[in-house]
Structure 1
Amino acid sequence: MDGVNKISVTLSGTQAEELNSALAEYLQRNGYQKTFETFVDESGATVKNDVQHVGLMEKKWSMTLRLQQRIINLEKRIQELESGGIIAPRHKDLKSSATWIPRPPEKLTLNGHRDSVMKVVFHPTYSVLLSCSEDHTIKIWDLETGQLERSFKAHLSTIQDLCFDATGNRFASCSADASIKIWDFGDSYDCLKTLRGHSHTVSSVVFVPNKSWILSASRDGTIRLWDTTTGFCTQTFEEHEDWVRRVCIDQQGQLFASCSNDKSIIVWCLNTKKPLSKLIGHTHVIECVLFVPQEHNNKIAGDHMKKYANEHDVKPTLIISAGRDRVIKIWDALSGACLMDLEGHDNWIRDMVLHPSGAYLISVADDKCMRVWSMEETQRCRVINAHDHFIYSVDFHKRLPYVATGCTDSTIKVWECR
């Protein structure tokens, strides 16, 4: 249909079955017999005539209309409060608010896990947070209310990592049970695929941009590339000599990097499946690594970075790493040159995340602190005493002014940025 915007919505198998059943029941009950028969023949829908399902289509439609009106009324009320200066504006573009950083006290403390929180990750769009734990569960939290929306046992052992795909329609988890699972993010949270092939703990997982692939890293010393459509492993990378702690990928999906207990970082070309460089400089296990988006290069150490780029006649691809030597290192990924060190943590650094504007780096460690590093003035650092125990994970919402931290005491804290 010309001039009509088409919106693609992917339903899980269970959701599609329920929708078809409700639609078939509606057609039959309202006398659209020919349409009903054709629809049932083509869709394979089964009509459910119990009390729970009769009239379900009308109930869903009425509920949608009521919710839409409620949202409109709430949005109007919030706008009135914002314009009157009674509350702070909510959904500003973080990239235009480069000075926004997490500030104490915490906005929310989320309790529910029964063991160490291994990973916290925000939905790319919604005000929703996912967490995973040594208690084998994944929990889904509403950031507006602080309420636990959903909890389910996802693996047979500690869940090490979580990540969303770019759309937010799917997320992946990996575990000490040596498996990776891909989940539907929706009403049902169905497990869409279980990927097996690693022979030990899977410690990291990431979706490849614009591809139906994911990368995983494992204690078995390998990185694996998986086809999420078939569930098959298509490539195994074996350059590391010990546990591979983390794998990350650049925005374009062309390069990925891995860090290991062997104290090295390897930068790989995804197209050729070959290593491009090996970064040596850490003196202990490297816990985390991330790429700096190219557009943020000019935010990193200002004059120092310009001088390096001019001297080498390159626009460097920057990588940041951190680990148990308590040092954060900034590297030129392709030359292997370490450009600078950031020191300040008093214990193992566990995780870090770049501010959406590129102006700050936030790191967490076993010293119970969250540090906010200025990327332009790298010696300037704000220290927040965030938890009473080791902090394993940190994430920054891409659109909303929130930072989350996950701790070994089983708590999660959400910090508002301003």
Structure 2
Amino acid sequence: MTTLISVTVQSDWVEVISDVLRGTVASESFWVSCYRKGSASVHGSVQVKKSLVESHSVELTGKDGIVVEKITNYSFYVSCEKLAIMKTIIKGTKATFKTHNSAIKSMDISPGGGLFVTGDNEGLLKVGDTSDGSVRRELKGHVADITTCRFFPSGQVVLSGASDFQLRIWSALDGSNPVTLKGHNKGVTDSAIIDRGRNVLSSARDGTVRLWECGSASIIRTIGNYTCAVNKISLGLFPSESIIERKPDNEIDSREEEAFTTKSYRNVPLHSCAYSPKHNLVAVGSAEGVIEVFDIRNINRDLFAIQRNDSTIYDLVFIEETGDLLIGQGRWFCIPNSDRFDEQYFPSVTRIYRF
């Protein structure tokens, strides 16, 4: 199993650089720590000074075992020779919006990119504008933490699920809630929207995945009846029509057909999964921080396994164009393939969304 490196940076480092650029202080520093499982960690710092050569620019200097190479004012590479860490990219956020008074547990971006929806641990959802963070609608109805929220393909309708056992369908335009889906007897953990949205899937801690017909708010089928929670579902087309017979557009076959099954060899709970039809890959992430990648054409053993530390893998997303795998584990990594690992740092990542 390959062990990944980890680089963490002082949470307000962007503000430190901004202070120097504005001239609030002549120089300032922020800390950087590097980790590799099984090795002693390295804790250094980066000194920030205003550039004497370029206007509105800073100079960055690494100290105490940390080497930095500036890319822009708000992005740079970190290297650490002691841990064999080479040019790990660090990027600052482009914008930060404060929309909730409690922790955000789920979010999504509309297909057109103009809207976001966020759900917090008090059951409140908010729909806002991605350009400035302004909130357009508050969606009230859930009475427990929001575990999943997604835009329908139209970008005008939102699906949400929560620990109150329910899923709700909302209008992002006026905030109305015309449909509530009831049937799970434990908290909802995830959801998926099929095609244009006539049907949706949900998973829950009751060990089931349910297929719903949205118009009638009815359960078409309950898939699986496991003795443990279903923490995550990933929806995608099979690459070969020979595996399962293809149905006409918009027609859902309610039969349950298990094309293949496998399990992690680590014997620990799985908290995330992702499927890439183009590359025939399935990835799963465990409670102990291990990511395993399988080829669905030979599912009997994993292609490779990787680990950064023992923290839970909260989310996985494949980028179909490249086969890259994004991993949410309190930090964000980009894994193009089994022999090249690039890391990008963002604080507190529990779910990943593609713009």
TM-aligned CA deviation for residue 147 of structure 1: 2.6
Which residue number in structure 2 is paired with residue 275 of structure 1?
258
Distance 1:154 1:103 in 2: 39
Distance 1:161 1:270 in 2: 25
**8 Å contact 1:254–1:270 — kept in the other structure?**
no
Q: 1:159 aligns with which of 143, 146, 163?
A: 146
Q: 1:323 aligns with which of 286, 292, 312?
A: 286
Q: Identity of counterpart residues, as a percentage? A: 17
Structure 1 pair 336/158, CA: closer, same or farther in 2 (3 Å)? same
Of Structure 1 and Structure 2, the greater helix share is in 1
Which deviates further from its counterpart, 246-255 or 188-197? 246-255
Task: Show CA shifts across 1:23-63 (max 9, x none).
Answer: xxxxxxxxxxxxxxxxxxxxxxxxxxxxxxxxxxxxxxxxx
Q: 2:315 aligns with which of 351, 370, 389?
A: 351
Distance 2:124 2:291 in 1: 31
**8 Å contact 2:276–2:323 — kept in the other structure?**
no
Q: 3-state DSSP class of the match of 1:319?
A: strand
Distance 1:103 1:148 in 2: 29
**8 Å contact 1:321–1:328 — kept in the other structure?**
yes
Which residue number in structure 2 is paired with residue 174 of structure 1?
161
Structure 1 pair 252/145, CA: closer, same or farther in 2 (3 Å)? farther
Structure 1 pair 277/356, CA: closer, same or farther in 2 (3 Å)? closer
Which residue number in structure 1 is paired with residue 271 of structure 2?
287
The letter for the 2-side match of 1:202 is V
TM-aligned CA deviation for residue 129 of structure 1: 1.6
Structure 1 pair 364/345, CA: closer, same or farther in 2 (3 Å)? farther
- Which structure 2 segments of 5+ residues have no match? 1-88, 242-251
Which residue number in structure 2 is paired with residue 18 of structure 1?
none
**8 Å contact 1:356–1:396 — kept in the other structure?**
no
Which residue number in structure 2 is paired with residue 382 of structure 1?
343
TM-aligned CA deviation for residue 228 of structure 1: 0.6
Structure 1 pair 275/359, CA: closer, same or farther in 2 (3 Å)? closer
The letter for the 1-side match of 2:267 is T
Q: Report the TM-score when normalising by structure 1.
A: 0.56
Which residue number in structure 2 is paired with residue 241 of structure 1?
227
**8 Å contact 1:360–1:374 — kept in the other structure?**
yes
Distance 1:339 1:272 in 2: 30
Task: Show CA shifts across 1:291-323 (max 9, x none).
Answer: 1031xx2xxxxxxxxxxxxxxxxxxx3212112
The letter for the 2-side match of 1:142 is D
Structure 1 pair 114/283, CA: closer, same or farther in 2 (3 Å)? farther
TM-aligned CA deviation for residue 360 of structure 1: 2.4
Structure 1 pair 251/103, CA: closer, same or farther in 2 (3 Å)? farther
The letter for the 1-side match of 2:132 is T
TM-aligned CA deviation for residue 252 of structure 1: 6.5
- Aligned 1:222-241 pairs, distance under 5 A: 222-241=208-227
Structure ranking higher on relative contact order (CA contacts 8 Å, 6+ apart)? 1
Q: 3-state DSSP class of the match of 2:106?
A: strand
Query: Over aligned residues, Cα RMSD in angstroms?
Result: 2.6
Q: 1:123 aligns with which of 82, 90, 110?
A: 110
Task: Show CA shifts across 1:358-388 (max 9, x none).
Answer: 34222111xx31112223x54322141x22x
Task: Show CA shifts across 1:136-158 (max 9, x none).
Answer: 11122322123333333230111
Task: Show CA shifts across 1:209-267 (max 9, x none).
Answer: 25611111111111111111111011112242201111121047999xxxxxxxxxxxx
TM-aligned CA deviation for residue 335 of structure 1: 4.2
Q: 3-state DSSP class of the match of 1:130?
A: strand
**8 Å contact 1:209–1:253 — kept in the other structure?**
no
- Aligned 1:7-406 pairs, distance under 5 A: 104-186=91-173, 188-210=174-196, 212-251=198-237, 272-281=255-264, 282-294=266-278, 297=279, 317-333=280-296, 335-337=298-300, 338-355=302-319, 357-365=321-329, 368-375=330-337, 378-384=339-345, 386-387=346-347, 390-397=348-355
Aligned positions, number = 256
Which deviates further from its counterpart, 143-152 or 113-122? 143-152
**8 Å contact 1:277–1:334 — kept in the other structure?**
no
Which residue number in structure 1 is paired with residue 74 of structure 2?
none
Q: Any runs of at least 4 consecutive aligned residues in structure 1 with deviations exceeding 6 A, and if so which?
A: 252-255
TM-aligned CA deviation for residue 345 of structure 1: 4.3
TM-aligned CA deviation for residue 107 of structure 1: 0.9
Of Structure 1 and Structure 2, the greater strand share is in 2
**8 Å contact 1:254–1:271 — kept in the other structure?**
no
Q: Report the TM-score when normalising by structure 2.
A: 0.66
The structure with more radius of gyration:
1
Structure 1 pair 254/237, CA: closer, same or farther in 2 (3 Å)? farther
Distance 2:221 2:254 in 1: 11
TM-aligned CA deviation for residue 347 of structure 1: 1.2
TM-aligned CA deviation for residue 108 of structure 1: 1.5
Structure 1 pair 130/229, CA: closer, same or farther in 2 (3 Å)? same
**8 Å contact 2:139–2:170 — kept in the other structure?**
no
**8 Å contact 2:90–2:344 — kept in the other structure?**
no
Distance 2:183 2:105 in 1: 22
The letter for the 1-side match of 2:334 is V
